[in-house]
Structure formats: C-alpha cells, structure tokens
Structure 1
Amino acid sequence: MSHRTKYWMLCALAFGASALAGVIIGKTVPAGGASGNAALLFPLLLGVCGLVMAAGWLWWRNTDDLQQQGQLISWYWGGTFGALAMLVYLAVFFGRHSDLSLGATYLFFAQVGGFFIVWLVWRLRGRGQSE
C-alpha cells in the first residue's frame, strides 16, 4: 500500500470516527434537559471522544511537517477567528445572555482551556526551547 493511499485511508478513518461519535452522542443524549444517567454517560462519551482523537492521531502521524504546520496555522487562526465571529453574531442577533450565546461562550472557554493545557505540557517538556 502506498503512503498516499494509507494517508487517505487514515483521513477517512478519522472523519468516519467523528461521524460515528456524533451519531452515538446524538442517540444517547436527550435533546432537551440533562440525561438521567449523566454521571455515567459523561465519562463514557468522553471515552468515545478519546477514540476519535486516537483516530485523528493516526492520520496526524502520517502527515509531513509542512502539512502539519498548515493544519496548525489554519486551525489556530481560522478556528479562533471563526469562533470569535460566531460569538459576536450570536450576541448581536440573540442577546449576550441568550442560551445560545452562553453555550458558545462556554465552548470558547473550554477551547482556550484545552489550548492552555496542551501548550503548558508542550512548554514543560522543553519543546519551546528546542523549536
């Protein structure tokens, strides 16, 4: 199997795992209100998300440095600008304290927290000095 074929198969695996996780979460989490088994369901679904990340990691390990840099820059700058633009849109059209605006704000804070944790691990491993 060629490297290119393996790369695209792993890419399809990552997208397929994401779609499957979406279906699983959509079928197990009620549309309105909390789940009756939230204390059990939350760690289970975090495990499903971990499997999605593992599938994405397989793809990531098969990309070269140039592709990785393109992905990192696109996700950081594009994702950050897109999130901020959506926060402004939701606040303007639905109000700052609407459920939609607050949910998006919480998601943005979770992204910032995740970024900070990964950056801190990267820094503590001494990668910042060698790169």
Structure 2
Amino acid sequence: MSDLPPKRRRPLSYMSLLGLSVLVGLGLGGSVALIEAVGGEASRPLQAIALGVGVSLGMAICLIWWRNADEAVREAHKWAWYWGGSAGIGLVMILFALSSWNLIEVNVPPYGDGPNGLLLSGIAVTLGAQLVGYLIAWAAWWLRHR
C-alpha cells in the first residue's frame, strides 16, 4: 500500500467541454464534406458512419457535462425540457390540426425534393418549436430562482 493520497479526478471544465464539442463538430463536418467531395459508391455509408461516430462523441461529451453539473443546473434543464419542449410540441400539434381542418394555411418550404423534403421540414419545425420553448422555459426558471 502506498502512503500517498488517492489521486482526485479533475472534471473537465465547461470551456474544455465546449472546445471539445467544437472540435468534434468541425471534425464531423470536415469528414462528411471530404467524403462528399471524394464521392464514390461508399460515400453514403461512410457519411452515415461519420455521423454515428460524431453523435456518439457528442453524447459522451453531454454525459461528462451532466455528471459535472450541479443540482440547480440539472433541475433547470430538466424543467425547461419538460415544460418548454412540451409547449413546443403542443404548438406544432395545434398548427397541424388547424391546417388539417383548413382553418389556416401553413407554408413551410420543403427542405429538399419530394416527400423527404417535407418530412425534414416538419422535423425542423418541430425541433425549432421545442428549442424556442426550452429557451423560454429555461430563462423563466432561472429568473424565478435567482
């Protein structure tokens, strides 16, 4: 046995994780662009693999950040995602219903050609509404708990 105290694990700082996230994003974007430029039959599977690796690294960074976050930060994010994200989904559901009943006209430009473009546009609108709801709820939580 050693008489030395056990080494304490130093958590990565917020700025370190932010920088790591930027590097992962740049690496992912660069690799996908390089694969696209080279082209070939294997380009789509290689891009899918690059995306999977990038998302996995992003999730690992999020996990490290979450483990280092204090209780107030965790609570703010959980509350904001639950209420803000739910409000965003609710807004999209209302728009969908009103548009289906021909009470309003929703003109979202398609993101790409064909049915896939419309599907991607719907996903973008839904995620955008959730993000806006989250940001509003997150700000409200912090303003109430100051």
Counterpart selection for 1:50 from 56, 79, 90? 56
Provide the residue aligned with 1:68 in structure 2: 74
Question: Number of paired residues?
Answer: 102
Q: Percent identity?
A: 20
CA distance change for structure 1 residues 78 and 49 in 2, over 3 Å: closer, same or farther? same
Provide the residue aligned with 2:107 in structure 1: 93
- Asked whether the 8 Å contact 2:17–2:65 carries over to 1, the reply is yes
Deviation per residue, 1:15-48 (Å, 9 max, x gap)? 4246325623652575xxxx84222331232012
Deviation (angstroms), 1:92: 0.4
Q: More relative contact order in 1 or in 2 (CA 8 Å, sep 6+)?
A: 2
- What secondary structure, in the 3-state scheme, does the structure 2 residue paired with 1:92 have? coil
**Higher helix proportion:** 1
Unaligned 5+ segments in structure 2 are 1-10, 97-104, 127-146
CA distance change for structure 1 residues 44 and 12 in 2, over 3 Å: closer, same or farther? closer
Q: TM-score, normalised by structure 2?
A: 0.46
- What secondary structure, in the 3-state scheme, does the structure 2 residue paired with 1:94 have? coil
Alignment of 1:31-42 (within 5 A): 36-37=41-42, 38-42=44-48
Deviation per residue, 1:59-113 (Å, 9 max, x gap)? 1111012211211222333234446656849x701379865441144576xxxxx
Alignment of 1:98-117 (within 5 A): 99-105=116-122
Q: TM-score, normalised by structure 1?
A: 0.50
Aligned mates of 1:12, 1:20 — CA distance in 2? 12
- Partner AA of 1:47 in structure 2: V
- Partner AA of 1:8 in structure 2: Y
CA distance change for structure 1 residues 16 and 95 in 2, over 3 Å: closer, same or farther? closer
Aligned mates of 1:28, 1:73 — CA distance in 2? 40
CA distance change for structure 1 residues 47 and 101 in 2, over 3 Å: closer, same or farther? same
- Partner AA of 2:119 in structure 1: L
- Asked whether the 8 Å contact 1:13–1:55 carries over to 2, the reply is no
Aligned mates of 1:36, 1:77 — CA distance in 2? 44
CA distance change for structure 1 residues 100 and 12 in 2, over 3 Å: closer, same or farther? same
